[in-house]
Structure 1
């Protein structure tokens, strides 16, 4: 009987070995083909594939080299946010008034919008966060308090994170565009605005701006774009920095294109105050002062409102709901807001550099990874100065599977090539990290990065998909 039992154990081991071995060999052969392609003649590729049940390394190549992760870094930030903040965490934005309301309904004071970092305030990704819904709730709360006139103005209070900033390491080309929007404690409409262009009659002629998705009359748009040829699409880039009052628009807009181009707002907090100011005026509630922010008041040496009577508290969607859109649509603003929230919760810090160092330390303490395998400048992956190994990316995804919130995180990952994975792309960088079950039923975790490849992203993406097909 003992001999029979031993023989059955041997057969079980042999079956596992013969099943696992072809998978390893199949991936190894496919990776050799992938990395030998001429597009990587001066580049570097790295792939790690782990058994998600045992943690066993099925395949690894260049797994300890620090590469630019692009938006695959979002998986590092989002899983840390689940750990530190909790899946049910929410942000709160408070509407208050200072001073007193007299018998005539005049508020002798200011309306204050006090933020705590919510990246979804005013966003149309959720019905309850849309700018129209939020403004309507604020106006109703002001009217319910008996306020009919304001001898003062709207003040946007974004002091918690010390104003609006863009992470160090972000490029000039990115910061003016919607995906390069800076972050503050009071974000509004994802700190972006859409601009509609009318192309000229022929390629090479100037375009003109037909309008914008919101009133941004306080900003000067300098339109230097020209009309592009048919099929050239959107090649418009906006150039601005936090607190700019002027945005330069350069590049080309295809002659056959019908698309709204989104830019970043130089100061989302100010825009929130500006939009509430306009909405109140339309509701017949006049204000004697122009809208402002605590940042502008401090610059002018003016008194900043403190305290106040609460009119309304807006609660954001839960962390799990925010992370869904963070990963699905790769919204960089959400990553920077979550990074700051993590740092604020851990040590009360708000600077992005401090927050990035805390995120690195968090994962080193939790997983034991060496310091050199995770060097980051932001929480979204937009900075080309980030350096991460595929070993770290895969290990963090592996650890996430054991957590009670894993189902929520897994749902947040998009589906590409029939696989649940997060993509990442910036100039010369493409990556995919995620989960897959192999044909023999083995659950897998993988991380694949390619840096400094030649050619456009589309053929490289197709080659990466063919490589990842061997995990199926």
Structure 2
């Protein structure tokens, strides 16, 4: 009888926990999460909805504007699918102006015309690498019988008025590969790699070894020192669009063997510079120096009218670009897609501001207030961005019925056994994505944390433990 009573008592104690609804479990788990000492001066927001019927399962601080970091990329990607279409491609053409004489001399210029392709020269796709494209362009020039060019190699980046960085980006970010500016003619994701040679002891000066591309037209000011063993890469580059100098500061671990990537101050110019070098290496003489339409405009000159196309390159389709955009969180792709959407919309609405375009789009589609989408860029790198977890979750839920959703879903990385996009900038961590609960309910969730205390790794683990409740 006593054993039976103990058994009944055991089930009485266990039943309330095991039989709790998902909503009840989230209430308990989120309370423990937000009252942790790491959030004594910070704030967390979580929204979870049933993707099948839109029912809110849990929401806390869901209407509070939060810095989203790279979780914002899901909004940009979804909007790009809706606005540009899954099959959208960017075309880059090579053409020449003037005439070719009987001796094979081009009395004119060779022009690379950009349309905003973020993948031009990128090594993420077999057909877009810089070596593949440069070889194709050289072949196209030779096929026309051109042996000498009396003009220049010009990179036409005028569609977006040259290279720029979105407002709100910080000085510390812009010089590094993840803070590369964007233009109508991007090249190798507007980044370049540098190999350092560590000093003989910590504190000693480093030396610059090889670079992944010729940068003879730039001045690299190396102020980095050798770091202790195990300290890794703490190198930061400082530059801005059109800088002629790049300052390299920080430490490079004494035992480190890593290529450090920084942003190109002018990707379009680098494309023209590299094409000129490739042509010269193939014995084609050039009289002029490489330039861009932006630089020509500053000098008071313009492109000659007309031209003959000799090569056209189409980018991978939008879905393939978005795959890498989300998988590797490439900020340049977000800014390029945002500019492409602005260009597309401006032909109909004259909208020239990305934040305004995104706000108007989702206000019309989902009746989301503009105050829930205060956006300054397309990638989330700006710490000035503010978005609610309510908006993020509603947007992600809305795409589930679209024909391109499978590709969108596949583009999301897997963390903690869950399909979700992460976001990380100083003091900010976030995860947004999809999960099927134990009882088969399809869930969409958004979890953002701002101004937390302590290292990022323990906070991530606490966030994962909270999200484990959804499994």
Using the size of structure 2 for normalisation, the TM-score is 0.95
Aligned match of 2:234? 235
- Report the Cα offset of residue 20 of structure 1: 9.4
From the superposition, tell whether residues 376 and 19 of structure 1 become closer, same or farther in structure 2 (CA, over 3 Å).
farther
Aligned match of 2:403? 404
- Report the Cα offset of residue 303 of structure 1: 3.2
Aligned match of 1:64? 63
After superposition, give the CA deviation of every residue in 1:47-106 in whole Å (9 maximum; x if it has no partner).
000001111000000000000000000000000000000000000001000000000000
Aligned match of 1:311? 310
Alignment partner of 1:466 is 2:465: yes
Aligned match of 2:433? 434
From the superposition, tell whether residues 20 and 191 of structure 1 become closer, same or farther in structure 2 (CA, over 3 Å).
farther
Classify the secondary structure of the residue corresponding to 2:77: helix
From the superposition, tell whether residues 20 and 55 of structure 1 become closer, same or farther in structure 2 (CA, over 3 Å).
farther
Alignment partner of 1:418 is 2:430: no
C-alpha separation in 1, matches of 2:432 and 2:97: 49
CA contact 1:352–1:378 (8 Å) conserved in 2 = no
From the superposition, tell whether residues 350 and 184 of structure 1 become closer, same or farther in structure 2 (CA, over 3 Å).
farther
C-alpha separation in 2, matches of 1:134 and 1:35: 51
C-alpha separation in 2, matches of 1:357 and 1:222: 39
Classify the secondary structure of the residue corresponding to 2:280: helix
After superposition, give the CA deviation of every residue in 1:254-313 in whole Å (9 maximum; x if it has no partner).
111110000000000000000000000001101000110111111111232332100100
Aligned-CA RMSD value: 1.5
After superposition, give the CA deviation of every residue in 1:334-380 in whole Å (9 maximum; x if it has no partner).
00000000111011499997122111111111110111100000000
Aligned match of 1:15? none
Moved over 6 A (4+): 349-353
Aligned match of 1:337? 336
C-alpha separation in 1, matches of 2:233 and 2:24: 43
- Report the Cα offset of residue 28 of structure 1: 1.3
CA contact 2:140–2:311 (8 Å) conserved in 1 = yes
Alignment partner of 1:327 is 2:326: yes
After TM superposition, list the pairs within 5 Å mapping 1:212-361 onto structure 2.
Answer: 212-348=211-347, 354-361=353-360
- After the TM superposition, which of the residue ranges 353-362 and 325-334 deviates more from structure 2? 353-362
Aligned match of 1:372? 371
Alignment partner of 1:453 is 2:452: yes
- Report the Cα offset of residue 27 of structure 1: 1.3
After TM superposition, list the pairs within 5 Å mapping 1:382-401 onto structure 2.
Answer: 382-401=381-400
C-alpha separation in 2, matches of 1:137 and 1:201: 44
Aligned match of 1:381? 380
C-alpha separation in 1, matches of 2:363 and 2:73: 17
Classify the secondary structure of the residue corresponding to 1:128: coil
- Name stretches of at least 5 consecutive residues in structure 1 with no aligned partner: 1-17
C-alpha separation in 1, matches of 2:306 and 2:63: 51
C-alpha separation in 1, matches of 2:296 and 2:416: 51
C-alpha separation in 1, matches of 2:116 and 2:123: 17
C-alpha separation in 2, matches of 1:20 and 1:62: 26
Aligned match of 2:5? none
- Report the Cα offset of residue 146 of structure 1: 1.0
C-alpha separation in 2, matches of 1:43 and 1:369: 25
- After the TM superposition, which of the residue ranges 19-28 and 87-96 deviates more from structure 2? 19-28
After TM superposition, list the pairs within 5 Å mapping 1:75-114 onto structure 2.
Answer: 75-114=74-113
From the superposition, tell whether residues 246 and 20 of structure 1 become closer, same or farther in structure 2 (CA, over 3 Å).
farther
- Report the Cα offset of residue 471 of structure 1: 0.4
C-alpha separation in 1, matches of 2:280 and 2:19: 69
- Report the Cα offset of residue 217 of structure 1: 0.6
C-alpha separation in 2, matches of 1:120 and 1:390: 30
CA contact 2:122–2:129 (8 Å) conserved in 1 = yes
- Aligned pairs, how many? 455
CA contact 1:168–1:353 (8 Å) conserved in 2 = no
Aligned match of 2:147? 148
CA contact 2:343–2:352 (8 Å) conserved in 1 = no
Aligned match of 2:54? 55
After superposition, give the CA deviation of every residue in 1:162-191 in whole Å (9 maximum; x if it has no partner).
000000100000000000000000000000
CA contact 2:182–2:335 (8 Å) conserved in 1 = yes
Classify the secondary structure of the residue corresponding to 2:255: coil
- After the TM superposition, which of the residue ranges 62-71 and 358-367 deviates more from structure 2? 358-367
C-alpha separation in 2, matches of 1:296 and 1:371: 37
After TM superposition, list the pairs within 5 Å mapping 1:87-236 onto structure 2.
Answer: 87-236=86-235
CA contact 2:168–2:376 (8 Å) conserved in 1 = yes
- Report the Cα offset of residue 211 of structure 1: 1.4
C-alpha separation in 2, matches of 1:23 and 1:303: 64
Alignment partner of 1:40 is 2:43: no
- Report the Cα offset of residue 456 of structure 1: 1.2
C-alpha separation in 2, matches of 1:183 and 1:327: 17
Aligned match of 2:6? none
Classify the secondary structure of the residue corresponding to 1:81: helix
Classify the secondary structure of the residue corresponding to 1:297: helix
